[in-house]
A and B are shown apart, each in its own frame.
Chain A
Amino acid sequence: MALTVNRRDFLKLAGIGGVVFASGLGCSSMRNGAGMSEHDDFYFVQLSDTHWGFTGPDANPDATGTLPKAVAAVNALTKQPDFIVFTGDLTHSTEDGRERRRRLGEFKEIVSALKVKDIRFMPGEHDGSLDLSKAFQEFFGPTHYTFDYKGVHFIALDNVSDPHAQLGSDQLQWLSDDLNKQNPNAKIVVFTHRPLFDLYPRWDWATADGAEAIKILQQRQNVTVFYGHIHQENHFMTGAIAHHAAKSLMFPLPAPGSQPKRTPVLWDASAPYKGLGFREVEAEVDEAKYEITEFPVVRA
């Protein structure tokens, strides 16, 4: 009988990766027997807040080098992910529409070097709030959508194109209609840019009508949310729904409310790229369980 080693066990054995965070309702450590799963496990990579076009040497003196390094780091993973998702703020905000398109084009060109070609893109407020995501859509298509992968139903929500930081009644209805089409026990993963819950509204770390989205999502048993925007890891529960924020690939931000202003954490020359990184998410589909492993941009 072949010994099956899943990615989490492999990472532990190989001693690589960062802290593993388990999320989901399948709390039992008892796993199905090898090969008995209804669905194949898989894993994806989440990258977020690359802010291409940002300049601020105090926060990141390698602003043009960090994203290519992250691409190289993902390409260097021993086993390539099934797909990759970018959860918004691909580019840094500019009021010049031509410059916005230039940044989006450069970003697209750089990430085209990723070995994995199944890539899902989402806008952040820096990409889309000044033009209702018009430029973003020219490069990457719709701002909210769904897809299914190996037994998991993924929903990408857009809480940035409206400058009021809201999903809006049409999208909420669309979300409700979509969930109504799913099996009652469907495994749901939601991607957003801003948190759906009020993490720290004073710093724009909230979605104006996020509570309505959560109310809709709470009608389902197996829902997990992955988001970006806050440039740091954060894990929070609203009822049975786990919300996981990802690190940035440009500059970290302080802990919610830890200082008066939301200014970037300054670059630490003794620990370059500290606080930046990306994550792997291994989906154990039958248990609706997600193992998160954080990776740095560069290895020390």
Chain B
Amino acid sequence: MMKKVTSRLLALSVCTALIASFGFLLLKLGNAQSERVVKITAHKFAYEPNEIHLKLGEPVILELTSKDVIHGFKIPDLGLRTDIEPGATVRLRLVPDKSGTFEFYCDNFCGVDHESMSAEIIVE
């Protein structure tokens, strides 16, 4: 009897997890279809583009790639941070809720001019 209950609970948990994951996936796809994608490429020792213009309140997907080594991507004022590994694409959803100029920079030591590797997001 106890075994049956445990099995049912386990099945229920798996279903719940699947539904939750699927729901999240749909949400992600829905977002990806309707939201503007901003591609940012990192390489030693710059980001391209190095100036990104966003509209206040407009959700965007930042699509980050690296051409060479692992770079960091940190926007302290917006609370975003990730590594960008070569060969992988990192997608970050961002809804700018304040206007201004926000610097982002590499926080993963990547070479001799690492300290100069920064760019800006301008929210208007």
Contact = CB atoms under 8 A, between A and B. Distances in A.
B58 interface: no
B47 interface: no
A93 interface: yes
Interface in A129-176: 129-130, 160, 163-165
B85 interface: no
B70 A163 contact: yes
Contacts of A274: none
Nearest to B70: A163
Given A163-B70, A164-B72, A94 B108 contact: no
Interface string B93-112: 00000000001010111111
Contacts, number: 38
B109 A165 contact: yes
A93 B112 contact: yes
B115 A203 contact: yes
B16 interface: no
Nearest to B81: A208
B31 interface: no
B112 A92 contact: yes
A212 interface: no
Given A201-B76, A202-B103, A163 B108 contact: yes
B111 A130 contact: yes
Nearest to B72: A164
A95 interface: yes
Contacts of A201: 76, 107
Contacts of A95: 111-112
Interface string A191-229: 000000000011110001000000000000000000000
B7 interface: no
B116 interface: yes
Contact of B109 (A92, A125, A202): A125
Nearest to B113: A93
B107 A165 contact: yes
A204 B76 contact: no
Nearest to A125: B109
A246 to B, nearest CB: 19
A164 B111 contact: no
Contact of B76 (A130, A202, A261): A202
Interface in B57-73: 70, 72
A120 interface: no
Contacts of B107: 164-165, 201, 204, 208
Nearest to A198: B76
Interface in A244-297: 261-262
**Ranked 7 nearest A-B pairs via Cβ:** A129-B109, A163-B109, A93-B112, A125-B109, A163-B108, A262-B115, A95-B111
Interface of B: 70, 72, 76, 103, 105, 107-112, 114-116, 118
6 contacts: A93-B112, A125-B114, A163-B108, A203-B115, A208-B107, A262-B116
